[in-house]
Amino acid sequence: MNDILIQNIGELILPKKTEGPLKGKELNDLKIVNNGTVVVKDGKVVYAGEHTEEYEAKEVIDATNQVVSPGLVDAHTHLVFGGSREHEMALKQQGVSYLDILKQGGGILSTVESTRNASEEALYNKSKKEIVRMIQFGTTTVEAKSGYGLDKETELKQLDVAHRLEENTPIRMKHTFLGPHAVPKDAKDNATFLQEMIDLLDDVKDKADFADIFCETGVFTVEESRRYMQAAKDKGLKVKIHADEIDPLGGLGLAIDEGAISADHLVASSEEDKQSLNNSQTIAVLLPGTTFYLGKDQYADARGMLDNNGAIAIATDFNPGSCVTDNLQLVMSIAALKLKLTPNEIWNAVTVNAAKAIDAEAGTIEAGDQADIVVWDIPNHEYLPYHYGVNHAQIVIIDGKKVYENTGLITES
C-alpha cells in the first residue's frame, strides 16, 4: 500500500522537468492541475496529476481548496554563522553604506570574529533553529555557504557544521565554500589572502559542492575572481560568484565566461552582460529581500534578464547583515512587488530553476521524484505572493515523510 495520498487538491503546481533551467518566456510556463492527486510511496512520488480514485494509502490528506507544490528550494543562504548584527540597523538608517560599515570593522568582519569565537556545537545549535524555521516556511532544499571564517580552521568548521545539519535534520542541502567572502583585517594584502583561499581548496573539495567568491569594490576584482574560479574548477568544484551587487564590475560576464552554475545578486549588472545570458546556462540568482532590507531603490533587472532569454532563480540570501529572514515566502512577495515577476515565474524561480542553480534533484513533482511536497493553505497559486509576511505552509513533506504540520492554536478542553 502507498504511504500518502493527497486528494481533492484545489490546485496542483507541476513545474516542468527540463535538462537545463527555464529561460526567458519559459519561466512563465507553469502547469496547474485543478482537482489533482499526488501519491507517495517509499519516499518517492508514484503519481501526480488529475484526480483519480485508483490509489489507496495509509494516510489520506484532503487538500480541498488548498494548493500543493514541490518543496521550495533556497539557492543562496549563509546559514552557519556566529553572533548577530542588529546594532548595524541604526547605522544603515543614518545612511552609512555597507562598504563604509565594512571599513569600520563591521559587516562581514564582525560576523567573522563571532564565528571564529563560536564553538562548533554553538554554531550547530544556532543554525538548527534556522533550518527548523525554513522547513516550517516550506523550504525543503537549501544551499549553505561558508565564508565567515576567512581562515582554514573556521571555514572547515562552518562546512562541518553544515554537514552535521544535513545528517541530523530532514532538510536536503548543498554546500558552498565561500572563503574569499571578504579580506580579513590581519591579511597582508588581497593577493596573499586570495592565495591562502586557493590553497585551501584541497581541504574543502570533498566537503563542498561549489566554490564562491565576492567580486565587488573593496573586496575582489574581476581578475582576482577569475583566478580563483579557474583554480576551483581545476580541483573539480563547480563555481558560483557574488557579482555586481553594488558596482557594475562585470562579475556576471565573468560568470558566463567561466561557465559558473550561477551568478548571484546582479543588481548593478551591465546591459551587455544581461544580454549575454541569452547564450548561457548560468542562472541569475536574484535576492530581492537583500535590496529590500538594505533600503535600496534599485533592484535587479529581472524583466530585462528574462527579455534577454536569461534564466533566473529567487533566493533569500539569509545572512546576519543584509537579509535576516528564513522566509522564502516573503521573498516571493518582494519578487512580485519589486521585480515585477508573475506568480508563475515566481513559483518556477523558487522550485525548478532554484534547484538547477544548486544542481539539486528537487523542484518538481513527477513519478519517480523525491517526495518533497508542501500543502499550502491558500485558494490558488497567485495568493501566496499576494498575502505577504505570513506562513501559508500547512503541511511539509520531505522524502515522503510529514515533517511539519500547522495544526492551529493549542486550546484547553
User: Residues annotated as binding site for Zn(2+)?
Assistant: 76, 78, 242, 317
State phi, psi for 404 to the nearest 5 degrees.
Answer: -155, 140
Binding-site annotation: residue ranges: 76, 78, 85, 148, 181, 242, 245, 317, 319, 321-322
Nearest partner of 162 among 128, 191, 192, judged by Cα: 128
* Crossing angle (nearest 10°) for helices 222-234 and 190-204: 20
Cell of 256: 558566463
Q: Would you give the distance in Å from CA 91 to the centre of its chain?
A: 27
Q: What is the DSSP string of 114-126?
A: HHHHS-HHHHHHH
Give 174's strand partners.
Answer: 143
Residues at the binding site for N-formimidoyl-L-glutamate are 148, 319, 321
**Closest among 210, 207, 139 to 180, alpha carbons compared:** 210
From the list 36, 68, 49, the residue with the least C-alpha distance to 372 is: 68
Q: Which residues are annotated binding-site positions for Fe(3+)?
A: 76, 78, 242, 317
Which residues are known binding-site members for 4-imidazolone-5-propanoate?
Answer: 85, 148, 181, 245, 322
Amino acid at 126: K
CA dihedral 192, 198, 199, 203 (to 10 degrees): 140
